[in-house]
Amino acid sequence: MKLLIIGGDAAGMSAASRAKRNMPDMEVTVLEQTADVSYSACGMPYNIADPHRDMNDLVVRKADAFREKQGIELLTGHRAEAIDADGGTVTAVTPQGKTAVFPYDHLILATGASPVFPDVPGRSLPGVMALKQLEDGRRIKEYIKSRQVASVLILGMGYVGLEMCEALRARGIQVAMVKPGPDLLPWMDRSLAQVVSEELAANEVALHTGQTVLEIREQGRRLSAVTAAGILEADMILSAMGIHPNSALATEAGISLGPENSIAVDKQLHTSRPHVFAAGDCADAYHVVTGQKTWIPLALRANRAGWAAADVVCGRGADIEGVAGTAVFKVFNLEVARTGLSMAEAHRAGFDPVSATIRSRSRAHAHPGATDLHVHVIGDRISGKLLGAQMVGREGAAHRINAAAVALHAGMSVERFSGMDLAYAPPFGPTWDPLLTAANQLVKQLRS
């Protein structure tokens, strides 16, 4: 049996390794268009923060290890160009520029996602960059070093952009952020988002909301982003406006798409074409709260989906669990976490959402080192079901959010969640865990 995989990062290499583990005699070939495989992309901002670290520190496993230890035919520098789903072949371009055709019995698309750039003049100028692949990280570090970058303008205010604020400020670089929308983290409760905004201000990050970049100009060694409100100048511009799924190959092969033009898959990762699967950032998923299709590209789902797709190919079957959108990121000294739906998302999904927001403490009363912990929880007025949770604090948010995520996967009501037996000790939280306090407040709201 021939298994062909397009894409050699999280989902792709997880699928390849799992398939060889399940069926050592299977012929597994991976086409990866870059020179890098199996690396920790989420660690790139923290690597950039340290000028002395090598970006290759983030490589989890080198390509030769897959080839020599597992017998995977891993072909780096091979760019897939077309899929013939009827004939069971993929056409690719080799590093030498030649065309090669690869037959398959089963195909897994793990093509990932690409960064969004503003569709404006000057978007391709040197110094306008994005951070998605390992080579992007290398390029950014080299540019900062060679150009002695002193200021960076970040387009967008999402997870990666906020993490890069900290990385750049750690190197003494001035940072400003700009976005068209009026709000920082629009999915977040406004009182929690204000805490994040104050943390950015305390670390001298300038926020320019409600401004659309119309053009990027080069002026000597500096760049200018032109908006209706004026001109924002910097030595480098980082586009952190989000990502979009790499689904063009699938579209051209007649494969159906889902939300945000991601590749539509069922719970066993089948696409609309026989023997073709998709996993990772290029594919959609089912949301555990709504039961509806969604596209939430995160690392754990990519690795888990790669495993599941390989299991199905090997005849083992897999009914992969959906996603709750659980995420956590660091903004200087703050932990910012979320799981499930926001109020706006809950409304769009057809719920009648009610929320409660509290400010608690990260440790027991009077225990040294305690800091504020802000918690926002959402429930459905009609069913009483827990719909989502958000947390911001200097400690205690990152791992605490997992309790709410488990409750969402279990389909718990707010009342049942409020009765959970959570751990307590003074160094780690109050007797009533902040999540439980918030849930108790939400129960009152739902009953009123």
Q: Among 123, 117, 114, 175, which residue's Cα sits nearest to residue 150?
A: 175
Cβ-based neighbours of 343, under 8 Å, separated by 6 or more:
189, 353, 355, 378
Beta carbons of 394 and 372 less than 8 angstroms apart: yes
Question: Which residue of the set 42, 165, 282, 314 is catalytic?
Answer: 42
Query: 10 Å Cβ neighbour count for 358?
Result: 18
Q: Determine if residue 21 is left, alpha or beta; phi over 0 gives left, psi from -120 to 50 gives alpha, anything else beta.
A: alpha
Element (H or E) spanning 304, and its range? helix 299-313
DSSP code per residue over 233-252:
EESEEEE-S-EEE--HHHHH
DSSP code per residue over 10-74:
HHHHHHHHHHHHH-TTSEEEEEESSS--SB-GGGHHHHHT-TTS-GGGGBSS-HHHHHHHH--EE
Query: 10 Å Cβ neighbour count for 101?
Result: 11
| Whether residue 282 lies in the annotated active site | no
Return the SS3 of 312.
helix
Beta carbons of 428 and 363 less than 8 angstroms apart: yes
- The bridge status of strand 174-178 relative to strand 151-155 is parallel
**Interaxial angle between packed helices 63-70 and 10-22, expressed in degrees from 0 to 180 and rounded to the nearest 10:** 10
Taking the C-alpha atoms of residue 213 and residue 240, their distance in angstroms, rounded to an integer, is: 13
Beta carbons of 128 and 9 less than 8 angstroms apart: no
Beta carbons of 281 and 245 less than 8 angstroms apart: yes
Active-site amino acid positions: 42
